[in-house]
Amino acid sequence: MQVPSGVVLLTDRRVARGGLVRVVAAAVAGGVRWVVLRERDLPRVERLALAVELRSILTEVGGTLLVAGPDPLLGDKPGRPASAEKAGSRTWAGATGTGSSLTALHLSAAGPYPPPPADLVGRSCHDPAELRRLTTEDYVTLSPVFPTRTKPGYGPPLLAAGLAELIRLSPVPALALGGIETPDQVHACVQAGATGVAVLGAIMRAHDPQQTASSLTARSGHGRPQPPTATTEPQTKHEDMP
């Protein structure tokens, strides 16, 4: 089973510079192959339409859209939950490039337990107790690794040593999450044992999200740097949990 790796992009339409779809498309052009659709406050019909649009961008490059929360949104038959269609199938559309048959969810630490049926399930975790609650999940995010403006005071931050310890305890592969904005931070997380990093503000707020995604992906070991663009601006710290 392939799990998220490299740079995983978390969406936030409120801070996406120039529009969420534009930023995601640029990040994909910069090497991102995994996107977690958040936007849980949207009405379901609007969130579904956004999911369809984002997945079409990812499908072109063999990428995968994950949906935050227990509602998978995307199914083969209109009006029927994808989990009902795909329970137990474990079809890996991200590898085949078809995109239409993968049900991928990312759940919070709060639940539900066990996860609903899906082809790929991730869970946000923050400590050993939450790792011990895992059942059939395929991967976890571990956070916060670094201080983050979105949730000031949340933590304390794991830092590289704390991240490495939780990865050692985790029964499944882990992504690092929280306050990750620079290539050096990405490298530190990978060195600690993470399969990749989940980022939000570093790309969502970027003046050039393609170049930012490329530079972060290159340090994750899952991409190649692209030529620098003519104009850049400092990144604003902003990170969040799915």
Query: What is the DSSP code string of 162-182?
Result: HHHHHHHH-SS-EEEESS--S
What are the pLDDT digits (tens) for 106-154? 999 999 999 999 999 999 999 999 999 999 999 999 999 999 866 555 6
What are the pLDDT digits (tens) for 215-242? 999 999 875 444 444 333 333 333 344 5
pTM comes to 0.83
| pLDDT, mean over the chain | 84
Confidence of residue 80 (pLDDT cuts 50, 70, 90): very low
Residue 60, C-beta contacts closer than 8 angstroms, at least 6 positions apart: none
| Whole-number percent of the chain with pLDDT over 70 | 77
Cα 180 versus chain centre, distance: 12
- Minimal CA–CA distance to 24: which of 227, 15, 225, 196? 15
Residue 37, C-beta contacts closer than 8 angstroms, at least 6 positions apart: 11, 47, 50, 51, 54, 65, 66, 67, 68, 73
Q: What is the pLDDT of residue 154?
A: 63
Tell me the CA end-to-end span of the chain in Å, nearest whole number: 22
Q: What is the pLDDT of residue 209?
A: 98
Q: What is the pLDDT of residue 21?
A: 98
- By CB neighbour count within 10 A (0-12 exposed, 13-18 middle, 19+ buried), where does 110 fall? exposed
Q: What is the pLDDT of residue 241?
A: 47
Mean pLDDT of 57-67: 97
What are the pLDDT digits (tens) for 194-222? 999 999 999 999 999 999 999 999 999 87
For 38-192, list the strands marked E by DSSP: 64-68, 104-107, 120-125, 139-142, 174-177
Mean pLDDT of 44-63: 97
For 1-50, list the strands marked E by DSSP: 6-10, 34-37
Q: Which amino acid is at 161?
A: A
